[in-house]
Amino acid sequence: MRILFVCTTGGSGRRQLGGAERFLIEMLPALSEQGVQVVAATPDDEVAESLRASGVPWFPLGARRRIDLAYAREIRRLVTEVEPDVVSAHLLSAAMHVRAGLGIQGRRTPLVVALHNSLWQYRDAAESLRAKAAVQANITTDLLSRRLRPHATVAVSAFEAEELRVRGHVRDVHVINNPLPAVWPSVDDAADLRTGEPVRVGFLGRIEKEKGADLLGDIATALPEIEFLVAGAGTVPLPPLPNLELVGRVDAAAFLQKIDCLLVPSRVESFGRSALEAMSLGVPVVHSGVGGLAEITRRATGVLAYQADMTAPAMVAAIRMATTSSAYTDQRRELAREYALEYSFQRCVQNWLQLYRAVADDRR
């Protein structure tokens, strides 16, 4: 089976290394090891560099603007050249351009689309009418192109699937949760869950308002006795506080193992991979409960997960609770093991492989 993966990493006109990009970096080599003939078409960035290093056949291809007819034509040319059994499109830009590129002539080529987020969630979280209108335009275009070019859709959470089915009336939706990374430690690798001084709270992800980064200054100010480590990059400025440190991009596992609590105050979150990673290592998470966060943290409520309203005072109270509940050490370890098993990378590889085989067989 030959699969062509198409993704304008980060979306047209911007770069990022988020869930979809990490999916490509880890999943494509793993599928190759399962005997799949994998071909990737992405911009020449960190994703491409990693795929080339893994020996994945790669073509430089990406949208240069929101609507790029040349990109759609290049996708059509590449499909004709590669003759894949399945085309797998990731993120909105690739999804829309692949649908246009395949068109009527490529209708027999099976297509699987994963947006990795809910467009409605972004629309609801937008702060201005102009921003809401821009997201609504994407929603309208996406739903129209789905009807013109039907395909299978993968949602990363039950929340995203419900958004598609109920708000978009989308059919043929499959849920495949995001996994833990391919190489990931176990909670049992450490002698004990961290209980050191001073207490450390971490933030791991894009430093953007949609991820609640604008709350970090007020939260750190209210908890001067706690050290705040902020890992990632973004556009929200952080205030110069003695207990707040920006550490840039980090190795996620090493970062999580040196903090007492992970703060995930997101306004937009279809899954919540950083929260999953923390809980799988026995690190409690204070979170906003939006989107997929409520879904993946539900079983850990009060032990490894503490939900709070999207205000600094509520987050502060939840952090105090999460970092003083040392009596739950054994329960946290047991829950961490359960998360590691349910969201294992190999299980996710098999789920994707089964879907691709089913979609390819439908054509035959």
Residue 146 to residues 74, 176, 215, Cα–Cα distance (Å): 20, 20, 37
- How many Å apart are CA 33 and CA 85, to the nearest integer? 18
Task: State the pLDDT at residue 198.
Answer: 86
Closest by CA position to 38, among listed 359, 354, 353, 362: 353
Phi, psi values for residue 325, rounded to 5°: -100, 55
**Contact yes or no for 219/263 (Cβ under 8 A):** yes
Task: State the pLDDT at residue 12.
Answer: 42
Neighbours of 265 (CB within 10 A): 26
Neighbours of 248 (CB within 10 A): 8
Buried b (16+ CB within 10 A) or exposed e, 162-174: ebbeeebebeebb
- How many Å apart are CA 207 and CA 211, to the nearest integer? 7
- How many Å apart are CA 214 and CA 216, to the nearest integer? 6
The one-letter amino acid at 339: Y
The one-letter amino acid at 351: N
Question: What does pTM read for this prediction?
Answer: 0.89
User: What 3-state class would DSSP assign to 325?
Assistant: coil
Domains detected in the chain:
2-179+345-362 (3.40.50.2000), 187-342 (3.40.50.2000)
Instruction: Please name the residue ranges forming H helices in 193-303.
Output: 216-222, 252-256, 273-280, 292-297
Closest by CA position to 321, among listed 330, 340, 308: 308
- How many Å apart are CA 52 and CA 58, to the nearest integer? 7
Task: State the pLDDT at residue 162.
Answer: 96
pLDDT along the chain (364 residues), means of 10: 88 59 92 96 92 94 89 93 95 93 77 94 90 93 90 95 95 95 87 70 94 96 96 94 95 94 95 95 96 95 95 96 78 94 96 95 68
Neighbours of 348 (CB within 10 A): 20
**Contact yes or no for 278/260 (Cβ under 8 A):** no
Task: State the pLDDT at residue 197.
Answer: 73
Phi, psi values for residue 250, rounded to 5°: -135, 165
